[in-house]
């Protein structure tokens, strides 16, 4: 349905007439959803290859992974507000164009610093994509059953895409260079840029929050120092630098909150968090992704560098987990008709806790089967928790405010992604560094590289005599799996606490 000008009309927030192309539009919206979620985790399988070819330090390796979700987390809220003001479809297409171009540049990065910079730019444009997708869905689907189904498909694509990342990475790395994991953005987003103007409706908030540069700066000053303090603590302990960066993050967060409360039309209405069901759903969203990304940081390296599988073999071993993520994300729509949503979310988070406990056991006995089963359990829990938490978040606000609500949902997702790598990844690296033993005969520079990451040790071993290489690799692999045990036990405890929070905060939710 087009106007005389040939443009698709904007969705009327108060209209009761369903948008006729809503299911076609949903199919188009799944393209950026899958791409961004895949991009969050596809890099994990390329880390060993990138380590060998770009020779990053341990800190650079973490920043290659972290900088993308970090920039997204800081910019999602202002991007959501900008979409409410200028138009969600317009922002989606601008973000898609920029993401495509920068992804192509990242594919040919000659150094680790170049790749970090490219990932940061991808985060900038990626922030324009995700709030727009969920807010467009919220405005297209006014029928509650249709909306919940659409959000379930969206969430299944999001969490399934995160699980699909290692599989896509494995297939690409088996046949192409590591840059192919970034080049895949081109064929995925081109259909969006072509079909988007034809099937996606435009929608805006008639009374959007103001774009506030100071608030944007405060968000960034909250997120970046917070993640840095956690990373630094894991490697250097609690020192002056850790304390200062943590203080900066806390002060910036407090100032941001006070600024939003003082404004008549804030960029982000922080009062939403006084609603237990809203804050509980955001917490469930964040912690589910925390578990998923932290898990993948370990399992991708274990499968390749400890178990010795090729990237393709390792990726297909994770297929059961991907299938469970998608299947349970869709089935949970029917489950909440029979069980209380709070119980379902808590059960989902407990599955994640059980998965971490199984990883701790499997790493100790060096069992790939245990890790595969653990990922299947984790996938089931993530699929259920992501679907319900996003539905609760989006239905807690009026449709015209969908951009702000979806930005909060996406911020929780990306924050969970950052924290999963920063917390669990840093703890894993710290335990590894403390336990690896570099044999005598390895020069000092190579020994430093081997002590930083398992990928570094593997790279160093390639240039040693066979006996010395085997001695180093044996120590490095055992040190890595020792770190996985500690990391998994921490993850299990965190997910139990998350389940208890969900039981308490979501008990009034009805569907």
**What six digits make up the tokens of 355?**
């998965």
Q: Got the DSSP string for 440-486?
A: TTS-HHHHHHHHH-HHHHHHHHTTS-HHHHHHHHHHHHHHHHHHHHH
Neighbours of 237 (CB within 10 A): 9
Angle between helices 22-54 and 276-301 (to 10 degrees): 40
Q: Running DSSP on this structure, what letter comes out for residue 111?
A: S
Cα(219)–Cα(256) distance, integer angstroms = 7
Q: Please report, in angstroms and rounded to a whole number, the separation of the first and last CA atoms in the chain.
A: 32
Neighbours of 496 (CB within 10 A): 18
Distances from the Cα of 15 to the Cα of 10, 18, 364, 374, 406, angstroms: 11, 8, 58, 46, 21
Cα(248)–Cα(223) distance, integer angstroms = 10
What is residue 349's predicted lDDT score, i.e. its pLDDT? 93
What residues in the chain have per-residue pLDDT under 50? 1-15
What is residue 355's predicted lDDT score, i.e. its pLDDT? 92
Q: Are 43 and 112 in contact (CB under 8 A)?
A: no
Cα(87)–Cα(128) distance, integer angstroms = 11
Cα(210)–Cα(76) distance, integer angstroms = 14
The burial class, CB within 10 Å (0-12 / 13-18 / 19+), for 189 is: buried
Q: What angle do CA 172, 173, 177 make, to 5 degrees?
A: 100
The residue assigned the tokens 């443009």 is: 7
User: What is the value of pTM for the model shown?
Assistant: 0.75
The residue assigned the tokens 């710290």 is: 430
Cα(506)–Cα(275) distance, integer angstroms = 10
What is residue 16's predicted lDDT score, i.e. its pLDDT? 55
Cα(303)–Cα(94) distance, integer angstroms = 38
């Amino acid at each position: 349905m087009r106007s005389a000008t040939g443009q698709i009309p904007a969705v009327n927030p108060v209209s009761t007439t369903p948008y006729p192309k809503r299911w076609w539009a949903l199919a188009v919206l799944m393209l950026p959803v899958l791409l961004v979620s895949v991009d969050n985790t596809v890099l994990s399988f390329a880390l060993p290859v990138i380590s060998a070819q770009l020779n990053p330090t341990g800190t650079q390796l973490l920043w290659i992974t972290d900088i993308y979700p970090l920039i997204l987390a800081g910019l999602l809220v202002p991007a959501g507000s900008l979409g409410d003001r200028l138009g969600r479809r317009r922002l989606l297409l601008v973000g898609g164009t920029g993401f495509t171009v920068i992804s192509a540049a990242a594919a040919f990065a000659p150094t680790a610093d170049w790749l970090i910079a490219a990932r940061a730019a991808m985060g900038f444009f990626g922030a324009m994509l995700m709030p727009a997708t969920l807010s467009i869905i919220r405005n297209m689907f006014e029928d509650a059953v249709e909306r919940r189904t659409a959000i379930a498909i969206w969430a299944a694509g999001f969490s399934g895409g995160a699980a699909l990342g290692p599989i896509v990475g494995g297939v690409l790395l088996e046949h192409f260079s590591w840059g192919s994991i970034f080049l895949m953005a081109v064929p995925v987003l081109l259909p969006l840029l072509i079909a988007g103007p034809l099937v996606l409706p435009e929608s805006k908030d008639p009374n959007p929050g103001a774009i506030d540069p100071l608030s944007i700066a405060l968000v960034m000053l909250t997120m970046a120092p917070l993640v840095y303090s956690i990373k630094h603590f894991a490697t250097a302990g609690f020192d002056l630098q850790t304390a200062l960066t943590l203080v900066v993050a806390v002060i910036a967060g407090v100032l941001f909150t006070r600024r939003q409360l003082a404004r008549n039309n804030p960029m982000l209405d922080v009062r939403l968090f006084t609603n237990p069901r809203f804050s509980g759903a955001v917490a469930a969203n964040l912690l589910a992704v925390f578990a998923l990304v932290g898990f993948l940081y370990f399992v991708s390296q274990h499968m390749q560098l400890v178990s010795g599988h090729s990237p393709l073999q390792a990726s297909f071993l994770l297929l059961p987990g991907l299938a469970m993520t998608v299947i349970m994300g869709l089935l949970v729509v029917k489950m909440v008709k029979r069980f209380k949503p709070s119980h379902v979310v808590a059960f989902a988070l407990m599955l994640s806790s059980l998965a971490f406990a199984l990883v701790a056991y499997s790493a100790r006995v060096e069992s790939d089967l245990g890790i595969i089963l653990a990922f299947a359990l984790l996938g089931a829990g993530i699929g259920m928790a992501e679907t319900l938490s996003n539905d609760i978040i989006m239905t807690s606000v009026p449709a015209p405010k969908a951009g702000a609500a979806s930005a909060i949902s996406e911020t929780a997702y990306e924050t969970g992604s950052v924290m999963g790598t920063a917390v669990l990844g840093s703890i894993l690296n710290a335990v590894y560094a403390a336990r690896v033993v570099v044999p005598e005969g390895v020069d000092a520079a190579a020994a430093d590289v081997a002590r930083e990451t398992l990928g570094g040790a593997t790279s160093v071993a390639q240039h040693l005599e066979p006996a010395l290489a085997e001695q180093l690799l044996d120590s490095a692999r055992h040190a890595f799996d020792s770190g996985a045990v500690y990391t998994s036990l921490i993850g299990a405890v965190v997910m139990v606490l998350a389940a208890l929070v969900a039981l308490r905060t979501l008990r009034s939710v009805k569907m």
